[in-house]
Amino acid sequence: MKFHWLRFLDWLKISSVPDALAIAQHDELQRQIPMLYAVLSVNAVAVAATHFHVAPLYMTLWIPLVLVTMSIVRAIAWRFRPRMNVNGAGAIRMLRRTTLLAAFIAFAYVSWSLALYSFAQDEQRAHVALFIATTVIGCIACLTYLPQAAMLVTVIVMVPYLSYQLSMGGPIYTAIAFNILLVLIMLIRVLLNNYHGFQKLVEARIESERLHEEVTHLANTDTLTGLPNRRYFFAKSTALMERCAHDGTPLVFGTIDLDRFKAANDTFGHALCDTLLAAVAERLCEALGEDAMIARLGGDEFAFVLQTDLHSAQRMAQAACRKIGQAFFLGDTRITVGASCGLAICGDEHADIVSLYDQADYALYYAKNHERGSSITYSAELDQTMRFERQLETALQNADYEAEFDIVLQPIVRLSDFHVIGGETLARWNSPTLGPVEPAVFIPVAERLGLINRLSLVLLGKMLRALGQMPRNVVLGFNLSAYDLASEETVAAIVDSIRGSGADASRIVLELTETAMLRDLDLARSAMEEFHALGARIALDDFGTGQSSLSYLHKLPIDVVKLDRSFIVESRIKRSRDLLQAVITLCRTMGLPCVAEGVEETEQLNMLRVMGCDNIQGHLFSAPMTVEQFEAMVKQASDPSASVA
């Protein structure tokens, strides 16, 4: 095998040592070098003592004192060096410095020993030879993990020592010197073998650490998006929470759920939607920034932790929802999904990750139901609202509709003669657990829970029974939900119910809101046609709210327009008044009777009369009343001997 000088020099300079190996060497040396200095010091003191009477004081006291002091200082420095702070580069620097220092100290000791030689007698010379031999052997043993230094020390000590013996000493000491050299060469060989084994061991450790890291990474990563997975997320956020609680820095926890993802999955297939999820993850990372910890918890559910104040977190979350809501272009396919987000702030140090997650999830649930596509922050008030909503949901799910629900009727009055032409049926719920609940509260919940169809049919039954009790000229309005129109079975059941009651359908006005009609125009139109075929009429309810596109008045078979209360409330403002006038005129020209809702004041009534409005409904005339009260009122009114006004 050829000896490469350049490579040897490279090795001697400790220039190509991997970081982990250098750190391992450093750690081992830290344990052994103090021992090395101890051996050196003890041996030096011993030699100085045996030469005390034969050599001058500077040789036996001052020089050894300097050498020993230096050794002790170095030993202490090594012993108390902080272990944790060493990195690869630092360790390499340390190894180089140690090698140089070892060379220097070896040189100092050997110079001193050889200088002592000239003063020594035979026995003392033997001691010096022994001193040199044991010291070098000790050094080599302690420098096992720094072979460069071990070699340098051997060369620096042995070359002058041998040369000195060859030139000055007798045959015995020369023989001793050669013996020592032989042992040292063998020791260096053994040391190199050991070091090689050590190197292999460290390499194996590095490899196993790498494998461990890889396995850990795989176990903590969601393969679809490359984001951390649920396991990692919860472990990491627990640690983050503890740190932030300790430092008093804010921490906001968020959950994000995609809207309409299931529909996208059904339409576009799993493969494409996997790509979609990866694209969503990308946008999420862009919106939340590098400092956020973002994870995919499963399905279309993501979560994140932001180490910012609530205000910035809300801004970022809102931006994320907006960003995800923009269309995705995956190949030739354009997919739009939305995202809703729930946020929870980690306020107190006793909070745990599970309850924080629940809060964010709670807020997300609220966002999904009330403000889809936006971000909602959990708060005590929200908690109360949602608690109430849950109670409401439970009560509504377990309600006995026939027994707990009732209807009231609010009169509708003709403006020309104040004659009660009919009334609007309004639902009332008297829950045994919650007490009276407003329809504006329970109708949306019933719609959300899919209970509205059944409820509508029960209320319709009650309305039809009431209608049967009323004089034949009384017309009753009945509110239908958008969900009623969307369900063909419900529409059929409504038709059957009206037909089965034997009521004259022309005395029924079905009130539908614009949003109900817009939800699915074709379905709405076919339902309206069925109602028309029965003879019932259709009112466009809450006209003036929503988009109020006048074009629907032409497009859909509408018979009556109900002007929303907000129209009347805002009629103080000239522009609103002009608009109201325009709508009333439009209705008249189209031959559509209109009903103004929520009339509370005489001025409003007078204004509406001047504008040419046909009918009014509102507290000015009467609040909703029981069926019995309504019946008594209309019966009295139709009695020719009485007057309503």
Query: CB of residue 586 vs ligand C2E: minimum separation in angstroms?
Result: 20
Counting contacts by CB under 6 A, is residue 399 touching ligand C2E?
no
Query: CB of residue 599 vs ligand C2E: minimum separation in angstroms?
Result: 6
Tell me how far CA of residue 446 lies from CA of 431, 451, 455, 636, in angstroms.
14, 5, 8, 37
Counting contacts by CB under 6 A, is residue 133 touching ligand C2E?
no
From 32-40, 227-235, 276-284, 597-605, span contacting ligand C2E (CB under 6 A): 597-605
- Give the nearer residue to Ca ion in terms of CB position, either 456 or 479: 479
Residue 261: name the closest of 273, 246, 271 by CA.
Answer: 273
Residue 278: name the closest of 243, 245, 302 by CA.
Answer: 302
- Give the nearer residue to Ca ion in terms of CB position, either 410 or 453: 410
Counting contacts by CB under 6 A, is residue 479 touching ligand C2E?
yes
Residue 344: name the closest of 249, 253, 250 by CA.
Answer: 253
E strands, 346-501, are 375-377, 405-414, 420-431, 435-437, 475-479
Question: Are residues 244 and 349 in contact, defined by beta-carbon separation less than 8 angstroms?
Answer: no
Tell me how far CA of residue 94 lies from CA of 146, 369, 645, in angstroms.
11, 64, 106
Tell me how far CA of residue 321 lies from CA of 308, 365, 374, 579, 619, in angstroms.
18, 15, 6, 36, 43
Structure tokens that stand for 535 in this block:
């003879």
Residue 426 binding target from Ca ion, ligand C2E, none, CB below 5 to 8 Å by type:
ligand C2E
Question: Are residues 274 and 218 in contact, defined by beta-carbon separation less than 8 angstroms?
Answer: no
Contact map string, positions 135 to 174, toward ligand C2E, x by CB under 6 A: ----------------------------------------
From 40-48, 117-125, 328-336, 591-599, span contacting ligand C2E (CB under 6 A): 591-599
Query: CB of residue 545 vs ligand C2E: minimum separation in angstroms?
Result: 9
Query: CB of residue 564 vs Ca ion: minimum separation in angstroms?
Result: 6
From 110-118, 127-135, 478-486, 488-496, span contacting ligand C2E (CB under 6 A): 478-486
CA distance linking residue 53 with residue 597, whole number of Å: 125
Binders in 450-489 for Ca ion, by CB under 5 A: 479
Residue 55: name the closest of 129, 139, 116 by CA.
Answer: 116
Structure tokens that stand for 111 in this block:
């110079």
Q: Which of 177, 427, 437, 476 binds ligand C2E (CB under 6 A)?
A: 427
- Give the nearer residue to ligand C2E in terms of CB position, either 222 or 597: 597
Q: Which of 98, 481, 604, 615 binds ligand C2E (CB under 6 A)?
A: 481
Counting contacts by CB under 5 A, is residue 541 touching Ca ion?
yes
- Give the nearer residue to ligand C2E in terms of CB position, either 92 or 427: 427
Amino acid at site 370: H
Counting contacts by CB under 6 A, is residue 615 touching ligand C2E?
no
Question: Are residues 121 and 169 in contact, defined by beta-carbon separation less than 8 angstroms?
Answer: no
End-to-end CA distance of the chain: 124
Residue 410 binding target from Ca ion, ligand C2E, none, CB below 5 to 8 Å by type:
ligand C2E
- Give the nearer residue to ligand C2E in terms of CB position, either 105 or 408: 408
CA distance linking residue 21 with residue 27, whole number of Å: 10
Give the burial class of 214: count Cβ atoms within 10 A of its Cβ; 0-12 exposed, 13-18 middle, 19 or more buried. Answer: exposed
Q: Which of 342, 411, 423, 618 binds ligand C2E (CB under 6 A)?
A: 618
Residue 421 binding target from ligand C2E, Ca ion, none, CB below 5 to 8 Å by type:
none
Residue 516 binding target from Ca ion, ligand C2E, none, CB below 5 to 8 Å by type:
none
Angle at 467 between CA 448 and CA 523, to 5 degrees: 40
Query: CB of residue 622 vs ligand C2E: minimum separation in angstroms?
Result: 9
Residue 600 binding target from Ca ion, ligand C2E, none, CB below 5 to 8 Å by type:
ligand C2E
Amino acid at site 420: V
- Give the nearer residue to ligand C2E in terms of CB position, either 311 or 619: 619
Q: Which of 124, 359, 410, 604 binds ligand C2E (CB under 6 A)?
A: 410
Residue 491: name the closest of 462, 534, 430 by CA.
Answer: 534
Counting contacts by CB under 6 A, is residue 443 touching ligand C2E?
yes
CA distance linking residue 356 with residue 612, whole number of Å: 58
CA distance linking residue 591 with residue 533, whole number of Å: 20
Query: CB of residue 557 vs Ca ion: minimum separation in angstroms?
Result: 18
Query: CB of residue 473 vs ligand C2E: minimum separation in angstroms?
Result: 22
Counting contacts by CB under 6 A, is residue 438 touching ligand C2E?
yes
Residue 481: name the closest of 430, 515, 504, 507 by CA.
Answer: 515
Q: Which of 624, 627, 634, 637 binds ligand C2E (CB under 6 A)?
A: 624
From 47-55, 244-252, 271-279, 437-445, span contacting ligand C2E (CB under 6 A): 437-445
Residue 496 CA neighbour count, 13 Å, CB half: 7
E strands, 172-291, are 252-259
Counting contacts by CB under 6 A, is residue 423 touching ligand C2E?
no
CA dihedral sign, ordered 143, 147, 151, 152: negative
Binders in 365-384 for Ca ion, by CB under 5 A: none
Query: CB of residue 407 vs ligand C2E: minimum separation in angstroms?
Result: 7
Structure tokens that stand for 455 in this block:
């409820």
CA distance linking residue 378 with residue 342, whole number of Å: 7
- Give the nearer residue to Ca ion in terms of CB position, either 146 or 561: 561
Residues in contact with Ca ion by the rule CB under 5 A? 479, 511, 541-542
Interface residue list for ligand C2E (CB under 6 A): 410, 425-427, 438-440, 443, 459, 479-481, 541-542, 597-600, 618-619, 624
